[in-house]
């Protein structure tokens, strides 16, 4: 709907990687040209470091389109697995016969590379998401790179998050002949670059700049920048949602109120663990301390001056009529509700005035005794939220989703599709998924989550979302997913392909 509203040809902030829409600012174009020069110079090792969503994969795709026909690119996305598994895939991509007698994989690779050298062709091995490579596998890859350096025919390009640097630093002694410090880092966009980025994407999607001179106001841009911290993917997500909200209000400008924020968008997600009320003050420790002192003082004054009156229990005189059936009326069980009124019955027997006064005092005392002390509504909601999460059993939810996935896999035989949310390969993968399942966001969609497990070392878990009759239907749902799911960079695929990924 918003495409027609803003007269756009396509979604300007879609998550599909399109080399035709490459924002050259924020140092991206300069890094791309330097990478191309390194490959043409025959450097054996190059690394590209960047946070999740910073544009590493897009930059690699753009780079490959700029290489001449003398280069052959072997692209390994999500290179988890053993060294032999990766080497087998590489050799198959280079033309090794899948059936028949096979020699040692390292010797097989060397033989395939010698053929390329004879024909004056260079090979670029790209390991995307390289931080996920098992440390033992990474060590053997570095040793292999040293062995292959004498051929001068290939380059290893590792693209990954900053944790890749940590892994490489542990293995420097295994590859003294190669400079593993050679590489580049993608920086976050500045506020000005973020503004130019939004305009660039809108124009690429067909925006009429004469008719719509300004789409994102300065305040909206600043809010997007602060929430996304200059991350292109997070900027896309927030801008896409802001356009939809603006369209729903029939506005041709994105205003401040149209831009949402999510805790998960903050840098390094450090604030995700700060619950409710304290999240507001998470970055202002001084203000929090001062506020705490004020609250303590107010609490002391409250109990000194009003506490004794609230808890005073007037004695019931002998002979006072029983009032055991009289109870305060609960109003949706919300603490701190207005004083409760006890309605008199329609017909009552005549009671002397003095006795009625005694009854009134007794009733008020009973009601006052049972009314809970007033609490802040926000505090009550937070306690209920924490209690709800604590009451959920992550182990039971995890096992239930594993069992449910068996029926879900039947969709592979019906040609159905799904959305891959995440893949976790670590010793803590199962524990991390269990922690996610008990959170409110994920618990609200738990019936749509399906978990498959692949026996690897360390273990690998795949989390998928839903079942859809077509690829287009899956993509439409993916494009409308909330931020807490879209930050995982989900993508649509067939259930048959999902099953293939998890096969041992």
Lowest-confidence segment of 119-123, 274-278, 352-356, 409-413 by average pLDDT: 274-278
| 25-42: average pLDDT | 94
Mean of pLDDT values over 299-307: 57
CATH class of residue range 28-185 = alpha beta
Q: Residue 264 has what pLDDT?
A: 41
Quote the mean pLDDT of the chain.
77
Confidence at residue 310, expressed as pLDDT on a 0 to 100 scale: 43
Across 380-405, average pLDDT: 73
Mean pLDDT: which of 184-198, 302-316, 429-443 is highest? Answer: 184-198
Find out whether 124 and 159 touch, Cβ atoms under 8 Å.
no
The answer on pLDDT for 144 being more than 80 is: yes
Residue 333: per-residue pLDDT: 41
SS (H, E, C) 42-70: CCCEEEEECCCCCCHHHHHHHHHHHCCCC
Under the banding of pLDDT at 50, 70 and 90, the label for residue 290 is low
- Please give the pLDDT value at position 22: 93
**Average pLDDT of the residues in 32-59:** 94
Residue 261, pLDDT score = 66
**Count of CB atoms within 10 A of residue 11's CB?**
16
Rg (CA), the chain: 32
Domain boundaries, the chain: 2-14+189-273, 28-185, 392-502
CB 24 within 8 A of CB 31: no
Position 488 confidence tier, pLDDT thresholds 50, 70, 90: confident
Confidence band for 123, pLDDT divided at 50, 70 and 90: very high
Q: Is the pLDDT of residue 349 over 50?
A: no
Average of pLDDT values for 402-411?
A: 77
Handedness of CA 259, 260, 265, 270 (dihedral sign): positive
The superfamily CATH assigns to domain 392-502 is Sporulation related repeat (3.30.70.1070)
- Mean per-residue pLDDT, 292-303: 62
- Quote the tokens at residue 400: 């239930």
Please name the residue that has the structure tokens 């087998």. 88
What would the mean pLDDT of 243-271 be, rounded to a whole number?
Answer: 65
Residue 328: predicted pLDDT:
40
> pLDDT-derived band of residue 304, with 50, 70 and 90 as boundaries?
low
Helix axes 83-93, 105-118, angle to 10 degrees: 30
Q: Is the confidence at residue 203, as pLDDT, over 80?
A: yes
Which 3-state string (H, E, C) describes 124-142?
EEEEECHHHCCHHHHHHHH
pLDDT of residue 252: 75
pLDDT digits (tens, 9 = 90+) for 148-181: 888 889 999 999 999 999 999 888 776 677 788 8
Q: Predicted confidence band at 475 (pLDDT cuts at 50, 70, 90)?
A: confident
Structure tokens at 386: 């924490």
Instruction: Enter the pTM of the model.
Output: 0.56
Q: How far apart are CA 96 and CA 113, in angstroms?
A: 11
Bridge partners of 463?
422, 451
Q: What percent of the chain has pLDDT over 90?
A: 32
């Amino acid at each position: 709907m918003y495409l027609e509203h803003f007269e756009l040809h396509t979604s300007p902030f879609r998550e599909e990687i399109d080399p035709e829409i490459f924002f050259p600012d924020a140092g991206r174009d300069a890094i791309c040209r330097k990478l191309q020069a390194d490959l043409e110079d025959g450097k054996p090792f190059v690394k590209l470091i960047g946070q999740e969503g910073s544009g590493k994969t897009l930059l690699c795709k753009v780079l490959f389109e700029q290489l001449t026909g003398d280069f052959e690119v072997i692209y390994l996305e999500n290179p988890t697995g053993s060294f032999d598994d990766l080497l087998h895939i590489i050799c198959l991509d280079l033309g090794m016969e899948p059936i028949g007698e096979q020699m040692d994989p390292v010797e097989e690779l060397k033989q395939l590379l010698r053929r390329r050298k004879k024909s004056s062709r260079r090979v670029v091995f790209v390991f995307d998401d390289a931080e996920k490579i098992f440390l033992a596998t990474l060590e053997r890859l570095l040793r292999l790179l040293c062995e292959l350096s004498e051929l001068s025919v290939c380059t290893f390009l590792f693209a990954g998050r900053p944790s890749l640097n940590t892994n490489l630093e542990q293995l420097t002694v295994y590859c003294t002949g190669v400079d593993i410090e050679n590489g580049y880092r993608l920086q976050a966009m500045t506020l000005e670059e973020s503004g130019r980025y939004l305009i660039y994407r809108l124009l690429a999607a067909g925006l009429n700049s004469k008719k719509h001179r300004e789409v994102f106001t300065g305040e909206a841009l600043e809010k997007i920048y602060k929430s996304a911290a200059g991350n292109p993917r997070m900027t896309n997500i927030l801008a896409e949602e802001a356009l939809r909200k603006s369209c729903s209000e029939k506005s041709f400008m994105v205003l401040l109120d149209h831009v949402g924020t999510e805790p998960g968008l903050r840098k390094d997600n450090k604030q995700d663990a700060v619950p409710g009320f304290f999240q507001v003050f998470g970055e202002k420790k001084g203000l929090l301390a001062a506020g705490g002192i004020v609250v303590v003082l107010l609490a002391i004054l409250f109990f000194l001056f009003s506490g004794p009156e609230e808890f005073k229990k007037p004695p019931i005189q002998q002979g006072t009529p029983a009032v055991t059936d009289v109870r305060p009326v609960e109003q949706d069980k919300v603490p701190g509700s207005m004083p409760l009124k006890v309605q008199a019955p329609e017909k009552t027997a005549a009671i002397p005035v003095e006795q009625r006064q005694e009854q009134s005092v007794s009733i008020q005392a009973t009601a006052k005794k049972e009314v809970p002390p007033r609490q802040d509504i926000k505090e009550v909601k937070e306690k209920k939220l924490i209690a709800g999460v604590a009451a959920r059993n992550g182990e039971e939810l995890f096992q239930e989703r594993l069992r449910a996935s068996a029926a879900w896999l039947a969709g592979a035989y019906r040609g159905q599709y799904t959305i891959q949310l995440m893949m976790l390969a670590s010793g803590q993968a199962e524990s991390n998924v269990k922690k996610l399942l008990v959170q409110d966001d994920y618990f609200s969609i738990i019936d749509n989550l399906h978990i498959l497990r692949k026996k690897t070392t360390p273990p690998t878990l795949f989390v998928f979302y839903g079942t859809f009759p077509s690829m287009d239907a899956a993509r439409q749902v993916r494009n409308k997913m909330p931020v807490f799911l879209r930050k995982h960079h989900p993508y649509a695929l067939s259930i048959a392909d999902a099953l293939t990924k998890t096969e041992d």
